[in-house]
Structure 1
Amino acid sequence: MSTSQTPRRRPPDLRGSSRAPRATVEPARDPSRPGITVVVLADPGRCTLGAQGAQVSLQQELARMFGTAEVRVQPQLLGISEANTLEMSTPGALMNADEDVDVVLMLTEMPRRSGGVPLIAEVFPEQHSAAIAYPVVGVMSSKKRLTSVFMACVLRITGAGTEEDHQRYSLTWNEWTEATADTTAQLRANTVTGVPRTIIGMVATNAPWRAAPKLSSAVAAACATGAFGIFYSNIWEMSAALSTPRLLMIGLLAMTLMVGWLIISGNLWERPKREGPATVHLYYNLSTVLTLYLSVLGLYLAMVLLIFLAGLVVIDPDYLESVIKRPASLDRYLDIAWMSAALGVVAGGLGASFDDETDLRSLTHGRRENQRRPEELRD
């Protein structure tokens, strides 16, 4: 990339980090010192929580293999180098600063690929380090799975353990590829379950349940418009006349319109460049759409509940029955709440576009990826 032109943004090299710098890091471990010290550098958020959850079990497994062990979890936003790969100078800098560290494990929320298959882990013995993609590991998995990945990486870095030990920490339906002259040892995900697991993992690291505070204007507009349905008798009549499938379709359409508007107004859709693989952008876009859908769905259901309870208090059953010419059952109140919430969600999407303080890109991998780049390469 020419330094005289403005650099175009592209995703990190998800085909693995075989092109990463291969500078050898001399072993920091003192042969006379028993045991092993492992540092886990984890991206802030879900990665750090996952690493902390597996910290005790990892230390116990290491102690069983090496006699004594110490595991440290250090939150750190892992960077992307100018070569568009995971920054591999970080482990070396850490080991040079702390001579007691034997192995550095980098746990990142960035999805990684190799040979068209999602990559769970990649080992760099020369740097005494390994990179693990947390979304591909699966955030819904137990700490036992993450511990197994950590241990498999440590054994390959140190060259320790028997064939039985390596088999103990293998993952079902996943396999390691051995290192060659041009590639590193890699743990690849299953070709069938790897992509869905990666997308679900990316959605979880986006934390859609934390989106509401970032959409304060959308929530205010949605609640105001939704509450209007309690006092508008035409909404009562319309909701009573529509069938349940049609009401469900109206709710789905309302959520789709809000998600689409948020993506357009927030410029959240990732467009592939010629130098960036389109599959990577597909992962980013799918996770963004699902994240926003879950956020809007949570907002929608919360509004339905609030409007339903408010309707029970405000709308007199006899008056409702006289308007809709049908019995004022709980189902009718629920229909009113559902219809009113649909109107509120559409208004909420429009309200979000006028909030200058709302940074929707912070909910997506694209924004957080840009923060990892060197300052001169950021958008």
Structure 2
Amino acid sequence: MSDDVTVVGLMADRGVPNRIAASVCERLARDLRRDVGGQWEVRRSQEVLPVDPDGEIPLAAQAPALMERNEWDVVVYLTDLTHHRGGRPIRYEVCSPDPATVVFVPALGVWRQRARTGRLLTGLVAAVSAGRQPSDDVVPKREISSLAGRLAMLAGMVHSNRPSRMLGALTGCTAVGLASGAFGIFYGSVWQIADALALARLSAISLVVVTALAAWLIVSNGLWTHSARPHPPGRAVDNASTVITVCSAVALMHVLLVAGLTALAFVVVDSAYFASQLGHDVGTWSYVRLGWFAASLGTIAGALGSNFDSEESVREATFSKRWYERRKLFDAYDR
């Protein structure tokens, strides 16, 4: 402590953890003054800690140096990784004997994530600063045992993966799909097929093409974690989060293609000529079906075989890639 002020160092990984840290920083100091008493100051720092050969984040070993170098009295690390103890995922880890703790942000879920993180941090900091273990009456249980908790963690992992960021790495793929699908707008045979497709069949076609492209991207980029290679804990949930993340990004791309090609159809296809070819009056739904079907054709015929524009975006948007990057970082980390 300095001048009777307890300084909390709030470290965070870039991305979701850093945004959460920025949002709870001031409130954390106020809550500590209210619940614990005394003067508190919270200093935020964006920093990535490595993963050691045992799969652990070495905060316990780094805490003394971090606190001395930064003049912190307590250190808390928010990470976008997950961790298991005894086969169960955990929400946090207290790193004795120093007042240090790791919070695994995805394990807190998505619903009211910032508020829940703020309450957890208040309870953890109050406990470790007093040299005691946090009580389950004050903070959520450390271990996640329920199915609902595990599903919430999976949702948190997908949120940390940021599918929208991966969508930005699919710009080239989107362009190829748009160019390929645009050819369908000019062919009467495509008009006839699109007009005959019911909503359920159009949805099924979209599901197939999105799944096919997502599978291609996962396999071609080595995003699937295999049992034969070293892997982070929770391989099944890791793969599930990767599948959901990539499928979400591809689905968003597909929606953009549908919107773009529908707009193109409205511009280039005259409604009277369109009606004469189909043999009935046309409306907005006729153009939507044409754009929808053309987008599916563009995705399967053009985008399949394409790839992400940025390897860094892939690393940032999948849990397993981030985990392996942290593992490689350990050997070069200044200890």
- Counterpart of 2:67, as a letter, is M
Do the aligned residues in 2 keep the contact of 1:43 with 1:76 (CA within 8 Å)? yes
Question: Which residue, out of 206, 214, 220, partners 1:259?
Answer: 214
Do the aligned residues in 2 keep the contact of 1:120 with 1:136 (CA within 8 Å)? yes
Check if 1:58 corresponds to 2:12. Answer: no
Bigger helix fraction? 2
Do the aligned residues in 2 keep the contact of 1:268 with 1:288 (CA within 8 Å)? yes
Question: Which residue, out of 32, 37, 45, partners 2:15?
Answer: 45
Check if 1:327 corresponds to 2:281. Answer: yes
Change (3 A) 1:147 1:282: same
1:156-206 alpha-carbon deviations (Å, 9 max, x no partner):
212379x9x974x434xxx2xxxxxxxxxxx12351222111111111111
Q: 1:357: Cα distance to partner?
A: 5.3
Q: 1:43: Cα distance to partner?
A: 0.6
Bigger shift: residues 360-369 or 284-293: 360-369
TM-score under structure 2 length normalisation: 0.90
RMSD of aligned Cα (Å) = 2.4
Gaps of 5+ in 1: 1-28, 176-186
Structure 1 partner of 2:326: 372
TM-score under structure 1 length normalisation: 0.80
Do the aligned residues in 1 keep the contact of 2:92 with 2:101 (CA within 8 Å)? yes
Structure 1 partner of 2:143: 188
Distance 1:215 1:276 in 2: 27
Check if 1:101 corresponds to 2:84. Answer: no
Question: Which residue, out of 28, 43, 50, partners 1:79?
Answer: 50
Alignment of 1:260-279 (within 5 A): 260-273=215-228
Distance 1:214 1:190 in 2: 36
- What is the aligned residue count? 328
Structure 1 partner of 2:240: 286
Structure 1 partner of 2:169: 214
Check if 1:305 corresponds to 2:251. Answer: no
SS at match of 2:56: coil
1:242-279 alpha-carbon deviations (Å, 9 max, x no partner):
221111100110100100111111111110247657x6
Check if 1:68 corresponds to 2:60. Answer: no
Question: Which residue, out of 213, 220, 228, partners 2:183?
Answer: 228
Q: 1:314: Cα distance to partner?
A: 1.0
* Percent sequence identity over aligned pairs: 28
Alignment of 1:17-36 (within 5 A): 29=1, 33-36=3-6
Distance 1:95 1:361 in 2: 30
Distance 1:79 1:49 in 2: 20
1:200-219 alpha-carbon deviations (Å, 9 max, x no partner):
11111111111233223211
Bigger shift: residues 78-87 or 40-49: 78-87
Structure 1 partner of 2:107: 136
SS at match of 1:320: helix
Change (3 A) 1:51 1:190: farther
1:279-338 alpha-carbon deviations (Å, 9 max, x no partner):
611121111111111111111111111111221121111111121222212111111111
